[in-house]
Chains A and B, each alone.
Chain A
Amino acid sequence: MSEANTSETAAVSIRHLSKSFDDVEVLRDVELEVKTGEVVTIIGSSGSGKSTLLRCINWLEKPDRGSIHIAGQRIGVHDDGRAMPVRELAKVRAKTGMVFQGFNLWPHLNVLHNVTEAPIHVQGKSKREAEALAKALLDKVGMSHKHDSYPNTLSGGQKQRVAIARALAMQPTVMLFDEPTSALDPELVGEVLAVIKDLSAEGYTMVMVTHEMAFARAVSDQVVFLEKGLIIERADPETFFTTPKTDRVRKFLENHDTPSPA
């Protein structure tokens, strides 16, 4: 059981992960280990399987093969192959916080209630405890002045910052970001990246898909390049951006304005 031992120390441990959509292999034997406090960035061209990989981590997509452990606990299936009952799955899922490209706030709840909803109704926290936490988190993302606003009145950048606070409120082991700034107007990208940068400085464990190369270079501990479902390169950001090993990555970086050193 040496495998289980290494899984226990990692925030996320992905082994032999494969996934197909109708005969098309989208992920092929992916291995990834995210240590606690680490920021891992997933880069790759469109359709390479980045979102799918991220969504497998919290079982929004069901992998065909392989295993995923969150803080040592397996998600989705038990080791004997039994599917995990929904309640148990929901519990493991709650150890991950996901931030989506399209925000996906719940429009009928105001900002504060978007953030307290899951802590109260999923985790069973008291209203007082959840609100105290939510207020602290909304303060952290610079949205404390908007407690009573409804999502439809917020800008994209504000929505995304609320969505980040909402995910943080679960006090997850790992935060998952799927292109958190891709749906934003250019002038709103900065405010969201600044929040994520703060989180990395505070030691949050994060897995992030992004096309913001300069940002990836500045915040990552590990950069992973995905190509047709295969991880073809992984390195620390310095190495990845300055001396990529494969032609494929070199080409990709040329087309994406390789950032100057941060």
Chain B
Amino acid sequence: MSNWEILWQARDEFLIGFWRTLEIFGLSIAGAFLIGCGLLYLLEGSRKRLTMPLRIFIDAMRMLPFLILVYLLYYGLPSVGIRLDAWWTGVGALAVYHGTYFAEIFRSNRLTFPPGQIEAAKAHGFTKSKMFFRLILPQVIMQTRPLLGNQLIYALKDTAFLVIITVRELTAVANSLSSTYFIPTEAFIVVIGFYWALSVAMEIIIKQCGRFSAKRGFDNV
């Protein structure tokens, strides 16, 4: 039996791993997106006492290697009495880690937001939160689309790190097949194919969303 035939017979395991990766990725980027939006909202000026700690938190996260964050959460949290299973630790770590990147992407765009639009909103009776959710956030998201797309690909690749805390995602499947049957190259080539396919699909979706913002004149950003 050739190496490829062995892998073909293990196709269900690959599919399950792929599905898990998809689940983890989907949940964690949704979480990261919400965290990014939430942090941007909290950084909206009026809460001066919050700004400093939040900026420190965001920078600290961004400067931390993701692998170390995962280790810390999985092996460190139980020692302070918090026990999460590997799967939720992974999703949570990805969401928080990439959430801070999302926040940073949003924030740097927010700094370039035309003040005239804010004044127009105030003059029309908008309160801070309405203004944020109806006018600021939608534009910030449309304008940062290419950067967000990039960040999603980083997040996808980071799901592979979860193998170290025993999450049975795609890379873990390849890892265990390769050591069981000693076929490292082929197993990982299959896995690379999966990651590539996902990344390409994501790029296409993000590109398609670009038409939405181009219509509004945001394509030059």
Mark A residues whose CB is within 8 Å of B: 58, 60, 86-87, 90-91, 93-94, 96-98, 100, 102-108, 117-118, 121-123, 150-153, 163, 166-167, 170, 176
Contact = CB atoms under 8 A, between A and B. Distances in A.
Question: Which A-B residue pairs are the 7 nearest by beta carbons?
Answer: A152-B217, A94-B125, A104-B120, A118-B124, A98-B123, A104-B116, A122-B125
Interface in B121-149: 121-128, 130, 134-135, 138-139, 142
B218 A107 contact: yes
Chief secondary structure at chain A's binding surface: mixed
Given A100-B116, A150-B217, A86 B128 contact: yes
A121 B215 contact: no
Given A104-B117, A108-B142, A170 B216 contact: no
Given A104-B114, A106-B120, A150-B217, A118 B127 contact: no
B124 to A, nearest CB: 4
B55 to A, nearest CB: 24
Given A104-B114, A152-B216, A117 B134 contact: yes
A60 B115 CA distance: 12
Nearest to A150: B216
B119 interface: yes
A93 B116 CA distance: 16
A90 B127 contact: yes
25 contacts: A90-B127, A93-B123, A93-B125, A94-B124, A98-B123, A98-B124, A100-B116, A102-B116, A103-B116, A104-B114, A104-B117, A104-B119, A104-B120, A105-B120, A107-B139, A107-B216, A118-B126, A122-B124, A122-B125, A123-B125, A150-B215, A151-B216, A151-B217, A152-B216, A167-B124
Contacts of A166: 124
A194 to B, nearest CB: 23
Contacts of A103: 116
A170 B125 contact: yes
A163 B139 CA distance: 19
Contacts of A102: 116
Residue among B119, B125, B142, B218 with the highest chain A CB neighbour number at 10 A = B125
A122 B130 contact: yes
Given A86-B128, A122-B130, A108 B138 contact: yes
